């Protein structure tokens, strides 16, 4: 249900003819305009690099000094671009606050929850007792379970959803009029995404707060925004109400963004068994006391059985904490597990490190965030060549393998000399994929490889993975909270909930006849 705006009232924020150039005079944003009223949610959508985040940083006066900025950002009639640093500091938090994409990097890891949320309140002159009371109220507001117990926790002691709630509480501490939410749910599973955005809408309604929602997830935009601004390479493609944009998009670019058809998964192969898990379980010990004795265990994955054929993909889905990543790390022998992991007839759990090392080329893992999994000091050729160091290969053969891997992931050979920071998110993910493919593995374990990418790039990566699978008969274990992506890539889906398997079905059967209420909720949350 979208709010209808009273346009007779003057807007809180009016942006006109905003343009931003870099030091080489290249435009990063051109003639951007936006009008925002109290209680309204405007969504900024577009591919990576389209200008969404830079426009929001401009509103907060957080742009780097070397950028050339022209135009006007009127906040209650005052031009933000002409404000002094003292005025800007007063604006941030009080009038405009921001929630960032990745709470783990935005929250200071050395501070406890009470200090993270309460710091801005202390600076306002509130007593410690008043601050504690207000922090608890804010944690209650953002739906944090057992708020008093969370005050002494550090960010790493919270789940992804709890960290996001802390960041929302920090942003709301000074009761801003405008909240900028920059990809606030990217790293969360579909059920948490819905919870966090529902929470933001409730808080917005309660406080009559305006919101700028930056997202590449158009399903969420459709549910939670009133109006949309579509950006493409720094320019506005079109603007309109959610209904107008979704029902009658005016440009080819917007139609492409709205097209969420990822294509069809390959037919299930009739081939030999590659991987068999027999009663595979993962437990993490809880240690206590001076002698660090094991007191108990946390069960991350209940014992399960699973079979994967050559050339087959199995999707592993479930909310955060359901055991998806623990299962993947166990199969890759990166965490200890019970039971058997039989790959090409050999039980990996019975192999010591020296036996395991030559077998590792048969299974490789691709992680969610290539920016943190790629060494920033190595160029693309060095990154891809890392795994080849175990083979006695000539320099010529090695270069050929690197170039072949780049071609497989549809990157130019000239990218060999680039570094991770010189690549887009989609290009970095292709490099991470090339690094795995260069070893010619039989099995790829992919942990949320598309979740941080915009929809257009996601489609390109999914198509690429399908093509690679078709050509090389490679098998995938594909972990994702995005069921649309899973449907386009996997022949079977395993659903995990609280560390247990709740169902395993052929993909289309799972979508048409889910066996549990939990699976039905996951499917519903992932639909437009």
Is residue 469 domain-resident?
Answer: yes
Query: Do 277 and 242 fall into the same domain?
Result: no
Q: Is residue 140 part of a domain?
A: yes
| Overall number of domains in the chain | 2
93 by DSSP, 3-state: which?
coil
Bridge partners of residue 181, in order along the sequence: 99, 213
Query: Which letter does DSSP use for residue 422 in this model?
Result: G
Is 489 inside a domain boundary?
yes
Say which CATH number the domain at 308 has: 3.40.50.300
Sheet containing 363-366, strands listed edge to edge, beginning at the edge strand earlier in sequence: 363-366, 443-447, 475-479, 313-317, 492-497, 500-506
Structural domain for 410, as ranges = 273-526
Of the candidates 258, 292, 307, which is a domain's last residue?
258
**Token couple for 120:** 């801005």
Q: Is residue 267 part of a domain?
A: no
- Strands 178-182, 210-214: pairing is parallel
CA 526 to CA 192: how far, in whole Å? 11
Q: Is residue 186 located within the same domain as residue 228?
A: yes
Query: Looking at 225, 258, 291, which one is the last position of a domain?
Result: 258
Question: Structure tokens of 481?
Answer: 């909270």
Q: Is residue 244 part of a domain?
A: yes
Task: Looking at the structure, tell me whether residues 334 and 402 fall in a common domain.
Answer: yes
404 and 328 co-located in one domain: yes
DSSP 12-45: SEEEEEEEEE-TT--EEEEEEEEEE-TT-EEEEE
If asked whether residues 232 and 288 sit together in one domain, one would say no
**Residue 445 φ then ψ, to 5°:** -105, 115
Same domain, 247 and 308: no
247 shares its domain with 296: no
C-alpha distances (whole Å) from 398 to each of 367, 394, 395 are 24, 6, 5
Q: Which residue in 338, 256, 269, 281 sits closest to 308, CA to CA?
A: 269
Identify whether residues 251 and 283 lie together within a single domain: no
pLDDT in tens, the chain (528 residues): 444 455 457 899 999 999 999 888 889 999 999 999 999 999 999 887 788 889 999 999 999 888 999 999 999 889 999 999 999 988 988 899 998 877 777 888 899 999 999 998 988 888 999 999 999 999 988 888 888 988 998 888 887 778 888 988 898 888 899 999 988 877 677 777 777 788 888 888 888 899 999 987 787 888 889 999 999 999 999 999 999 999 999 999 999 888 878 888 999 888 899 999 999 999 988 777 777 777 778 899 999 999 999 999 999 998 877 889 899 999 999 999 999 999 999 999 999 988 998 898 899 999 877 667 788 899 999 999 988 877 778 888 889 999 999 988 888 999 999 998 888 777 888 899 999 988 889 999 998 888 777 778 888 889 989 999 999 999 999 998 888 899 999 999 999 998 999 999 999 999 999 999 999 988 887 775
- Residue 359 · residue 331 · CB < 8 Å: no
Asked if the structure places residue 264 within a domain, the reply is no
Helix (H), strand (E) at residue 464: helix 455-472
Tell whether 252 and 349 lie within a shared domain: no
194 lies in the same domain as 77? yes
Query: Of 229, 258, 287, which residue sits at a domain end?
Result: 258
Q: Is the residue at 171 inside a domain?
A: yes
Q: Are residues 280 and 336 in the same domain?
A: yes
Does residue 228 lie in a domain region? yes
Same domain for 320 and 214: no
């Amino acid at each position: 249900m979208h709010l209808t705006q009273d346009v007779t009232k003057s807007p809180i924020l009016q942006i006109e003819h905003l343009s931003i150039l870099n030091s080489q005079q290249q435009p990063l944003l051109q003639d951007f305009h936006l009008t925002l009223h109290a209680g309204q949610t405007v969504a900024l959508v577009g591919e990576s690099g389209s200008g969404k985040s830079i426009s929001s940083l401009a509103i907060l006066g957080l742009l780097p000094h070397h950028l050339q900025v022209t135009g006007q950002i009127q906040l209650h009639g005052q031009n933000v671009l002409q404000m002094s640093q003292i005025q800007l500091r007063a604006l941030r938090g009080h009038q405009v606050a921001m929630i960032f994409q990745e709470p783990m990097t935005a929250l200071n890891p050395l501070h406890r929850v009470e200090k993270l949320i309460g710091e801005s309140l202390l600076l306002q002159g509130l007593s410690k007792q008043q601050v504690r009371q207000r922090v608890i109220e804010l944690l209650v507001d953002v739906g944090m379970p057992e708020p008093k117990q969370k005050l002494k926790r550090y960010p790493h002691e919270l789940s992804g959803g709890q960290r996001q709630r802390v960041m929302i509480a920090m942003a709301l501490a000074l009761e801003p009029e405008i909240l900028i939410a920059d990809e606030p749910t990217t790293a969360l599973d579909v059920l948490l995404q819905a919870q966090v955005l529902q929470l933001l809408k409730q808080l917005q309604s309660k406080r009559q707060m305006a919101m700028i929602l930056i997202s590449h997830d158009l399903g969420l935009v459709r549910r939670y925004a009133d109006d949309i601004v579509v950006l493409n390479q720094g320019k506005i493609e079109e603007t309109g109400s959610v209904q107008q944009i979704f029902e009658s998009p005016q440009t080819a670019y917007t139609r492409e963004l709205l097209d969420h058809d990822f294509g069809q998964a390959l037919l299930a192969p009739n081939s030999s068994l590659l991987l068999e898990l027999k009663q595979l379980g993962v437990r993490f010990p809880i240690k206590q006391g001076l002698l660090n004795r094991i007191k108990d265990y946390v069960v991350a994955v209940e014992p399960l059985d699973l079979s994967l054929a050559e050339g087959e993909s199995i999707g592993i889905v479930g909310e955060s904490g359901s055991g998806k990543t623990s299962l993947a790390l166990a199969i890759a022998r990166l965490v200890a597990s019970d039971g058997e992991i039989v790959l090409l007839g050999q039980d990996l759990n019975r192999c010591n490190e020296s036996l395991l090392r030559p077998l590792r080329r048969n299974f490789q893992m691709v992680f969610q965030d290539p920016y943190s999994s790629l060494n920033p000091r190595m160029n693309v050729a060095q990154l891809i060549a890392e795994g080849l160091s175990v083979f006695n290969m000539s320099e010529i053969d090695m270069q050929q393998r690197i170039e072949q891997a780049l071609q497989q992931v549809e990157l130019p050979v000239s990218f060999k000399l680039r570094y991770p920071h010189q690549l887009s998110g989609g290009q970095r993910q292709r490099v991470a994929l090339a690094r795995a493919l260069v070893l010619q593995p039989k099995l790829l374990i992919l942990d949320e490889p598309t979740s941080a990418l915009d929809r257009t790039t996601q489609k390109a990566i999914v198509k690429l993975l399908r093509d690679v699978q078709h050509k090389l008969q490679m098998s995938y274990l594909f972990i994702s909270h995005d069921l649309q992506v899973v449907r386009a890539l996997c022949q079977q889906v395993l659903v995990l909930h609280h560390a247990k398997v709740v169902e395993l079905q052929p993909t289309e059967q799972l979508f048409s006849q889910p066996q549990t209420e939990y699976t039905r909720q996951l499917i519903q949350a992932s639909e437009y």
